[in-house]
């Protein structure tokens, strides 16, 4: 069963997107790992894919009554290279900066999630036909058992 968290995160990113290049409508907003893996076959030149990595959830018991549920989401950024790798890398960097801005400004406002933050920038790669960047986002929720 697919978690709703990647979709909620993707919707929040789309709702708060402020860049004009690439514009929100120029981006393929995918929510599965398969869509991310097949991006080069897509018609759009940009993609932001939100999906869960393997073993995405971590539950930490804080006390007898409280536990913290952390769900990890990968946000993959793909840019097709058309005018050179340096230009595509520059676009990737501006998209990643925009993702950081949105996540930091929306930390406590994404659906039912209590806290959302960037854990790490996990991938930065450049090839002849594709430039990629990825962020690992932590989506935290606290549960109280009464």
Q: Which string of DSSP letters, residue by residue, matches 109-140? A: -STT-SEEEEEEEEEEEE-SSEEEEEEEEEEE
In this prediction, residue 46 carries a pLDDT of 93
Residue 100: which CATH number? 3.30.2000.10
- Quote the pLDDT of residue 2: 54
pTM metric for this prediction: 0.85
* Residue 8 predicted with pLDDT over 60: yes
If one counts the domains in the chain, the total is: 1
Per-residue pLDDT reduced to its tens digit, 108-133: 566 666 688 899 988 788 888 889 99
How high is the pLDDT of residue 1?
44
Point out the least confidently predicted range of 17-21, 34-38, 76-80.
34-38
Contacts of 102 (CB under 8 A, 6+ apart): 12, 13, 16, 17
H-run or E-run covering 64 = none
Q: Structural domain of residue 115, as residue ranges?
A: 5-144
């Amino acid at each position: 069963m697919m978690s709703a968290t990647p979709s909620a995160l993707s919707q929040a990113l789309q709702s708060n997107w402020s860049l004009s290049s690439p514009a929100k409508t120029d981006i393929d907003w995918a929510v599965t790992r398969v869509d991310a893996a097949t991006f080069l076959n897509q018609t759009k030149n940009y993609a932001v894919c939100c999906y869960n990595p393997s073993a995405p959830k971590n539950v930490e018991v804080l006390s007898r009554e409280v536990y913290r549920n952390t769900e990890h989401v990968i946000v993959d950024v793909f840019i097709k290279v058309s005018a050179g790798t340096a230009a595509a890398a520059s676009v990737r960097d501006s998209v990643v900066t925009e993702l950081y801005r949105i996540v930091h400004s929306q930390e406590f406002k994404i659906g039912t999630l209590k806290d959302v933050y960037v854990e790490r920038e996990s991938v930065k790669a450049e090839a002849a036909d594709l430039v990629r960047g990825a962020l690992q986002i932590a989506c935290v929720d606290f549960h109280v058992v009464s």
